[in-house]
Amino acid sequence: MSHITLIRHGQANSEAKDEASYDQLSTLGAQQSKWLGQHLKQTKSHHMRLFTGTLQRHIETANNMDTGLEPIRDKRLNELEYFTLAQALEKEHGVPMPAAQPDFAHHLPKVFAAWKDGILNGAPETFEAFETRVNGAINDIAQGDGPALVVTSGGLISMVMRQHLKLDISSMANVALAIMNTSIHRLYPVGGTWSPVMFNAVPHLEDPTRHHAQTHV
């Protein structure tokens, strides 16, 4: 077993109201990704494998990182469909979509709770199915040789943390909200199991001139 480094994609279209329009990097998202790639080169971070989901924002982030590794695309690494879930919550239970970005902090836990409770008929997949595919993807990556980079999304990273830290649904939602764009998260084998040894690190954005790029949405 070797370590797995999870990367959240760069900032996407933060004004989006649906899945399709969200799935593209903003200009800042592209720059965040380039800075991350430069940081990995400068620190001589050693990774032998690169995995991404099949979403455009994953692919663009990995391309901008310019690691020199041939990416392996795996749709199991794709994000949960937040907008689709939120629309189902509004249509079926009268909980409106957030009107402004700060409102997402109160809305996301409601979406996650309703999804886990199985009361969203319009959900594209069940919470259990999402949990199963994430666990399967990480376990399969763990069986390969050498350290792996995995470019994915915040919801998936929060699910990985839930699985390895035994988080309840409220804590998982709080973790998801905290995850910054192009942040680094690492799982390391300790005693035959995976342990999170890094969470939400953004060393490539710590310079004061880059603090504006420490974005969550």
- One digit per residue, pLDDT tens: the chain, 217 residues? 679 999 999 999 877 677 888 899 999 999 999 999 999 999 999 999 999 999 999 999 999 999 999 999 999 999 999 999 999 999 999 999 888 777 888 999 999 999 999 999 999 999 999 999 999 999 999 999 999 999 999 999 999 999 999 999 999 999 999 999 999 999 998 887 889 999 999 999 999 999 999 999 8
Phi, psi of 32 (to 5 degrees): -55, -45
Tens digit of pLDDT for each residue in 174-191?
A: 999 999 999 999 999 888
Residue span of the structural domain in which 60 resides: 4-213
pTM above 0.85, yes or no: yes
**Helical packing angle, 127-142 and 154-165, nearest 10°:** 80
Asked if 153 and 78 touch (Cβ cutoff 8 Å), the reply is: yes
- Cα torsion 149, 153, 156, 161 to 10°: value is 70
User: What CATH number is associated with residue 13?
Assistant: 3.40.50.1240
| Torsion 86-87-93-94 (CA) sign | positive
Tokens 């797995």 correspond to 4
Q: How far apart are CA 187 and CA 176, in angstroms?
A: 17
The domain tally of the chain equals: 1
Q: How far apart are CA 185 and CA 4, in angstroms?
A: 8
By the 10 Å C-beta count (0-12 exposed, 13-18 middle, 19+ buried), 35 is classed as: buried
